[in-house]
Structure 1
């Protein structure tokens, strides 16, 4: 995924399925400068982490 698409997903009014290492996640914000995203697994909202945007996968 690229940083522009990640930002579009954040602002989308509908839920878009995105995974990190096969697990469904929610993207909180995008750091365009470092090309990372602040995410958490949908089933574990307290497990926030910063990951490379390129490691996120969108599922349609």
Structure 2
């Protein structure tokens, strides 16, 4: 995924499925300076963790 798409998904009111390493996640924040996103698991709501935006996959 690219930075602009991650920002669009974050600001969208629609429920847009996104995965990280095959796990459904929510994008919580996007950091443009590091190209990282903070995500939480959709099903588990684990602790937020930073991941590279380019490793996120939109379904």
TM range (shorter): over 0.9
Query: Partner residue of 2:46?
Result: 46
Once superposed, which parts of structure 1, at least 4 consecutive aligned residues long, lie more than 3 Å away?
Answer: none
Is 1:20 aligned to 2:17, yes or no?
no
Q: TM-score when scaled to structure 2?
A: 0.94
What SS does the aligned partner of 1:24 have? strand
Q: CA deviation at 1:47?
A: 2.4
Q: Matched residue pairs, number? A: 59
Consecutive unaligned residues in structure 2, runs of 5 or more: none
Q: CA deviation at 1:44?
A: 1.7
